Structure 1
Amino acid sequence: MTQVGAGPEEIPPFHRPLISYIVVVAVASLALGAVSWRFGRHPDPAPLLLLSAMGILSFSVRAPEVGSRIGFSFLSIILLSSAAILGPFGAWFVGVVSVAVDRRARAWLQAVFNVAMTSIVGAAGAWAYVLASGEYAIGGLRGAGVLAVEVGLPLIVADVVGCITNAALLSGVIHFHQQVPVTVVFRRVLATSGVAYVGYGIIGFLFVILWFPAQLGAFSAILVLAPLLAARWAFIQYGEELRSHERTVDTLVTALGTKEPPAVERSRRTARLAEWLAEELGLGPSQIGTVRYAATLHEIGRLGVPVRLLRRDPATLTPAEHQLITHHCAQGAAMIEGIDFLEEARTGIRHQGERFDGTGGPDRLAGHDIPLAARVVAVADRLEELSRAPGWAAGRSSSAIVDALRQETGRFDPAVLEAARSVLEKHGLPDHGMGGPE
């Protein structure tokens, strides 16, 4: 399951739309719990307590966050099993108690949302199991075919509903918090957790089969813990790989900063703008990552430019010296050659100096032959440059800022400029001292 992993400084306590959304989700959770108690089956106390304990354990050993302010736990397996073993109210209750005991939630908004969301996901999946004609008298079922139809298929439906519900609720809270388009967050969550839900469904089905037809009862919980912990280990390795990528990028930016300290903040602001643009364009999670890496490292080629030139007034440079600086894009792409996870970002770095009309460099590409990452970085870099011009943006509307870029005829992709208008309306130009993408 995916949950919000933000701290108090990341969810403002007086952000009214965000608070309103969380209140609505919390009320919906309480209403769904009441409906589940009124119209659903009442679970037996013994399995309810056992599955609640397993839910608490699953949530307490959840994998650390891997980005986007969201972290993963394997509570979904327990919730899915609860759908067949306990029914809607039981699944709702397990969702509530599993997350309510969390002591790492530093913000009350975060805690309330995670409890409400998890309980809704549990109950929604359980009701999907009911509506898909899932069988509760599982102990009397015999035969693989019967189990597949009476239990397996309804659990698949419950798994899909739980996955979509989780992604939808998360998309809403991140939208109100960060102003990221809902569809972008929805696709990002599905891309990172959707495949995992397939595994959750398989393990959940195994849990139910061991509990009833195999007549192992509570002992089946022990057998399920092994694949659960193995899956957690695999996810931690994936998270560590992503963190290793971030450390590599940070090292490159730090190296640039030792030569040209202001370049560090320029890179971070450009990366933030590029990420906003990519989200506004509706790019997928992988493409957004590529754009962010390209923007963060868009000036890395300046490592190959003599310091004396970087410190000179551009107006005093000779044509040859000016050309040396402007060709840092190709040098930067060459510097990161061989780093596999940056391979797609290389084209964004190399071609950021191309012009949409084909008169740029280094390869005089035109239109959509220019890699999308390069077209986005070009606009982000220009906006970041304008943000450093003293008083330039003061009092200007987003339309006026974008119109100023349009006056540089033939330089930028019109679609990216249109996205820039929306980005500036939502976020404005980044302030100096602003941190990088989170």
Structure 2
Amino acid sequence: MSQAATATVRSRWLPAYLALVVATSIATGVASWLVLPRPELGPLLLLCLMGIVSFQIREPDVGLRISFSFLSIILVASAAIVGVFGAWVVGSVSMLIDRRQPRWTATMFNAAMCGLLGAAAALTYRLLGGAEGSAMTHMSTAQLGLHVGLPLLAADVVGCLVNASLISGVLHLDQGIPFGVQLRRVLSGSGVAYVGYGIIGLLFVILWFPAGLGAFSALLVLAPLLAARWAFIQYGEELRSHERTIDTLVTALGTKEPAAVDRSRRAAVLAEWIAEELGLPPGQIGTVRYAATLHEIGHLGVATRLLRRSPSSLSPTERRVIDGHCVVGARMIEGIDFLEDARSGIRHQHERFDGTGRPDGQAGHAIPVAARIVAVTTAIDDVVRDPDAAPVVSIADVARRLRADPGRFDPDVVAAAIVALDKHGWPASAPAEVAS
């Protein structure tokens, strides 16, 4: 399937998915209003205000396409403080005011998603026998743990799963990211944090009811919330500093070999797609992307006159010098901590799956997965940029060329690459068109 056809499929199903989520959320709110107990107005307004504020001061980018706000903590607490309908209202209202989101469809989806998240968490709490309101006041510590703590932590887990599932669904339809890959990405990025959300939410509830502080408890939970926000901001800044380092290295390569900049970008995108298709965890996907982006960084140590000559005009000795760029590149980034895992992907990109490659003769799955992926991405780029190739290179042509030498590539990586190309098309800035 071509890129245009894939986009058409997504554009057909995405609106239906958004409409289904919004309709389900509205139906959930109406049903909970009609069937279940209704919350007190004062606590509901306070929690809505906290939700709105938390979302407005969120950190929109902490890496891995994940944002951070206090809203999840407030929704967990809302499950016990204002019940199912109240938690649905808090989630929905908090997301309706979004100054950073110009698309009303995205705002509606976010509001519906958080409404469902709040309602699902509160319903879980209720079904597990979670205590409500004044019933907590005279409970012992053991009773609080059994009738408040455990149901609230279970509600937290359910909320995490609902959030991850709905986000993974929309990104799968909108961007073609495999659902399972995105689900693991969200859970690995925010799943651990959700444990902290549950604990802080439990603290909020205990301060509100058993401690008898009521609305004043909101002030007491602000300190850990702000500390958590600061920690996530630092994490996001660290990831952005990594990207700036990568950009600096690629820019340096571009001053010597301008065409290498586009090759690096294409390789990074395609390598990430392949890694996603293989179901690699988020940390490994990042390593693969770094290795693909810097797979030619060793060219900085190769004479410019050799890089500018056509491969057919090189002597065997000159060819070996250029082929040695992978070892040179791995040495060049030695000592950069966050690139340590990517070094092996750069060093071993010229290994062969049958063990007859360079520089160390590694074979099969002993070759780092990043290196096996980089080998395929660079080979695909060579096929598409081949001056003797037709103006339109089909995916079948790419598959045929990759499989022409059975011992060269990991067959699983080749299969994942073909699926990725069929799903996404060719990365931007490709010099030729890839057709179905």
| TM superposition shift of 1:16 | 2.4
Match of 1:72 in 2: 68
Q: Secondary structure at the match of 2:312?
A: helix
Task: Please tell me whether the aligned partners of residues 141 and 147 of structure 1 are also in contact (alpha carbons under 8 angstroms).
Answer: no
| TM superposition shift of 1:121 | 0.5
Distance 1:122 1:322 in 2: 62
- Match status 1:81 vs 2:77: yes
Task: Please tell me whether the aligned partners of residues 384 and 430 of structure 1 are also in contact (alpha carbons under 8 angstroms).
Answer: no
Distance 1:204 1:366 in 2: 51
> Which of 25, 28, 35 does residue 29 from structure 1 map onto?
25
> Which of 93, 117, 120 does residue 121 from structure 1 map onto?
117
Q: Deviations over 1:307-354 (max 9, x none)?
A: 111111222212111111011000000000011111110000000000
Alignment of 1:301-340 (within 5 A): 301-340=298-337
- Match status 1:61 vs 2:57: yes
Task: Please tell me whether the aligned partners of residues 383 and 389 of structure 2 are also in contact (alpha carbons under 8 angstroms).
Answer: yes
Q: Which moved more, 1:306-315 or 1:355-364?
A: 306-315
Match of 1:44 in 2: 40
Change (3 A) 1:403 1:433: closer
Change (3 A) 1:193 1:33: same
Change (3 A) 1:253 1:142: same
Distance 1:411 1:323 in 2: 18
Task: Please tell me whether the aligned partners of residues 386 and 393 of structure 1 are also in contact (alpha carbons under 8 angstroms).
Answer: no
| TM superposition shift of 1:15 | 2.1
Q: Deviations over 1:92-147 (max 9, x none)?
A: 00011111011111222221111111111011100010111111134433211011
| TM superposition shift of 1:362 | 0.4
Alignment of 1:5-404 (within 5 A): 15-137=11-133, 138-390=135-387, 392=389, 397-404=394-401
Task: Please tell me whether the aligned partners of residues 305 and 328 of structure 1 are also in contact (alpha carbons under 8 angstroms).
Answer: yes
Change (3 A) 1:380 1:149: same
| TM superposition shift of 1:69 | 3.7
Distance 2:111 2:122 in 1: 17
Q: Which amino acid aligns with 1:190?
A: L
Distance 1:15 1:306 in 2: 48
| TM superposition shift of 1:37 | 1.0
Change (3 A) 1:395 1:433: closer
Distance 2:325 2:390 in 1: 27
Paired-residue identity, %: 61
Q: Secondary structure at the match of 1:298?
A: coil
Distance 1:390 1:40 in 2: 69
| TM superposition shift of 1:418 | 1.1
Q: Which amino acid aligns with 2:13?
A: P
Change (3 A) 1:117 1:394: farther
Distance 1:404 1:33 in 2: 55
Q: Which moved more, 1:345-354 or 1:317-326?
A: 317-326
| TM superposition shift of 1:397 | 4.3
Query: Structure 2: which 5+ runs fail to align?
Result: 1-6, 432-436
Q: TM-score, normalised by structure 1?
A: 0.94
| TM superposition shift of 1:391 | 7.6
Q: Secondary structure at the match of 2:67?
A: strand
Aligned residues: CA RMSD = 1.6
Task: Please tell me whether the aligned partners of residues 66 and 189 of structure 2 are also in contact (alpha carbons under 8 angstroms).
Answer: no
- Match status 1:419 vs 2:416: yes
Q: Aligned pair count?
A: 423
Q: Deviations over 1:216-271 (max 9, x none)?
A: 01100000111111100000001011111111111111110111111000000011
Distance 1:260 1:175 in 2: 36
Change (3 A) 1:431 1:65: closer
Task: Please tell me whether the aligned partners of residues 393 and 401 of structure 1 are also in contact (alpha carbons under 8 angstroms).
Answer: no
Q: Secondary structure at the match of 2:221?
A: helix
Query: Structure 1: which 5+ runs fail to align?
Result: 1-10
Q: TM-score, normalised by structure 2?
A: 0.94
Distance 1:417 1:59 in 2: 42
Distance 2:251 2:284 in 1: 24
Q: Secondary structure at the match of 1:18?
A: helix
